[in-house]
Amino acid sequence: MKDSQKITFILHGKLKHIDKVQKRISSVFENGFDIDFRLTDPDNGAKNEAKEAIEAKADFVIIAGGDGSLNETINGYMATEEQFRNHVILGVLPMGSGNDFAKTIKVRNNLNELKAMIEQQSFLNVDVGSMHFENLSGKRDQRYFINISDIGIGGDVAENLAKGMKLFNANITYTKAIVSSFLRYKKQHVELTSPNYRWSGKMLSLCMANGKYFGSGMCISPDACINDGKIELTIMGNVSLWDYVKNLSKIKKGEKLDHDEVTYATVEKCSIQAPSPCPIDMDGEFIGYTPIEMNIIENAVRIIGRH
């Protein structure tokens, strides 16, 4: 590794004791790196900061936050011209409520481990999903995801969390949001089409998975692979609250469910239509509604991590 590589850490603006976090990062990375710190902004999160860091020729851009902040970083990366972004390696220091993508790439909130992975050049080529959808203003929009995007109850849960449903820890927060959504969510009819697969019916949840985990550690798509050029679909049709609760331990263990209303499939792209708009959860954030056009961009980014 060459001397004085430029590394930019983007810190979530709401992190507690930001000064102490910066000091810890500096103490670990001060030898061999030119360190730059940026804070997320209220309107665009990490997107603009990531784009500016890449255009400033950072060698590494590390987001210190959760899945939502990582999503913003990915969108900043994809919004940057290729001539600037091709040399950049992204990373995540998991400090959010879910940190689900970090589980897939085996990255912990440990600065010494993160530095060691950089020194060992432990980098992964990772696919990115591209989605066209209807945003919260009712206009067609495009956004990228790196972990999981889903419609149905996941979008409803994400909307609840966006409205401020916060408790003492991530597991309690997600569990309460899920139960609350189950008690009032009405299953909606959707039609999914792709070149090699079709599905239609009433669904509780339809997950488009690049990573394996969502919802603070639930392994919803155990066969998902971050660099195979494909998206794994996990479709829960007419599944009851009791069925969900009964199988929750299996989902957390990464076991596929043997259930008539649960379907697994693999696609490279798909479109989803619904008579009534279905809410969309993208990497833990509520972003808008169906209809959806989704495709995968193979090996779109390089990220610090392990298989």
Q: Mind listing the pLDDT tens digit for each residue in 61-76?
A: 999 999 999 999 999 9
**pLDDT value of position 178:** 67
pLDDT at 282: 96
For the chain, percent of residues with pLDDT exceeding 90: 76
Tell me the average pLDDT across 163-186.
64
* Per-residue pLDDT, 153: 85
Q: Which tens digits make up the pLDDT trace of 268-299?
A: 999 999 999 999 999 989 999 999 999 999 99
For residue 166, is pLDDT > 60?
Answer: no
Q: Which CATH class is domain 128-299?
A: mainly beta
Tell whether the model's pLDDT for residue 225 goes beyond 70.
yes
Tokens 């009791």 correspond to 242
Q: Which two tokens stand for residue 160?
A: 């609840």
For the whole model, what pTM was predicted? 0.92
pLDDT in tens, 10-39: 998 887 889 999 999 999 999 989 999 999
Whether the domain at 5-96 and the domain at 128-299 fall into the same CATH topology: no
More confident residue, 302 or 4: 302
Regarding the domain delimited by 5-96, which CATH topology (the fold level of the hierarchy) does it fall under? Rossmann fold (3.40.50)
- Residue 161 clears pLDDT 80, i.e. is over it: no
User: Does the pLDDT value for residue 167 go beyond 50?
Assistant: no
Segments making up each domain of the chain, as ranges: 5-96, 128-299
